């Protein structure tokens, strides 16, 4: 493949052929045209830089879509981190004893979950710990933590659904 040898014109042909398909693939995942365009460009740039390592026996499409997928995951993680940062900032109100500034979801969690469940949910979604790490912190098994998180999410979802219905009906 000429592009793997550094031929810019050959890579330009690949970009022309694949850019729109990569964009659509990313757009479905990210649901934001701006982010999809950025990820597409970053994916193509990464592909250009990595072309010398491309194995001619591999399918170019699979390789390119793998790069685009990883770049999409990075955007999703950045979004989650930004949300966690906002939640963490709101969580500081708990330390200060000012529950009134907590987002509704954390108020509901505090009301409907027992302390063990609340702690597990907080560690998972605010501190971004994996169940295995939460298990080490809490002295539970990783399976026990996953079950606890599953049940806590179900209780919280039901509480939020009731609250939402109540507010809509009011």
Write out pLDDT tens, residues 112-168. 999 889 888 888 887 677 898 888 878 889 999 999 999 999 999 898 888 878 877
Query: What's the total number of domains in the chain?
Result: 2
| 88 vs 32, residue with greater confidence | 32
C-alpha closest to that of 22 among 54, 66, 59, 52: 66
Question: Do residue 9 and residue 56 come from a single domain?
Answer: yes
Q: Which of 79, 111, 137 is the last residue of a domain?
A: 79
Distance of alpha carbon 106 from alpha carbon 96, whole angstroms: 15
Residues 76/30, Cβ–Cβ less than 8 Å: yes
Same domain, 71 and 108: no
Taking only the tens place, the pLDDT of each residue in 61-92 is 888 888 988 898 899 888 888 777 766 655 55
Residues 70, 114 within the same domain = no
Query: Does residue 110 lie within any of the structural domains?
Result: yes
Q: What is the DSSP letter of 127?
A: S
Binning the chain into helix, strand and coil, the percentages to the nearest 5 are: 85, 0, 15
Q: Decide if 152 is inside a domain.
A: yes
The pLDDT of residue 98 = 42
Residue 163: domain span = 103-169
Q: Domain boundary at 79, 113, 132, which?
A: 79
Residue 27 lies in a domain: yes
Q: Residue 141 belongs to a domain with what CATH number?
A: 1.10.10.10
Q: Which two tokens stand for residue 8?
A: 């810019």
Q: Looking at the domain assignment, is residue 87 inside a domain? A: no
Radius of gyration of the chain, Cα coordinates, nearest whole angstrom: 22
Which of these three, 46, 79, 112, is where a domain ends? 79
Shared domain for 14 and 63, answered yes or no, is: yes
- Residues 124, 156: Cα–Cα separation, whole Å: 14
pLDDT band at 93 (very low <50, low <70, confident <90, very high): very low
């Amino acid at each position: 493949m000429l592009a793997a040898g550094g031929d810019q014109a050959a890579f330009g042909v690949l970009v022309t052929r694949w850019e729109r398909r990569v964009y659509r693939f990313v757009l479905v995942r990210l649901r934001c045209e701006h982010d999809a365009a950025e990820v597409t460009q970053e994916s193509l740039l990464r592909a250009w830089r990595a072309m010398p390592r491309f194995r001619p026996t591999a399918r170019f499409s699979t390789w390119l879509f793998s790069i685009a997928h990883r770049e999409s995951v990075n955007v999703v993680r950045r979004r989650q981190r930004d949300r966690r940062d906002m939640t963490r900032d709101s969580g500081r109100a708990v330390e200060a004893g000012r529950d009134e500034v907590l987002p509704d979801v954390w108020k509901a969690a505090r009301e409907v979950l027992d302390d063990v469940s609340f702690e597990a949910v907080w560690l998972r979604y605010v501190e971004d710990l994996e169940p295995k790490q939460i298990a080490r912190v809490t002295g539970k098994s990783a399976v026990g933590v996953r079950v606890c998180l599953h049940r806590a999410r179900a209780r919280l979802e039901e509480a939020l659904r009731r609250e939402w219905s109540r507010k809509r009906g009011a």
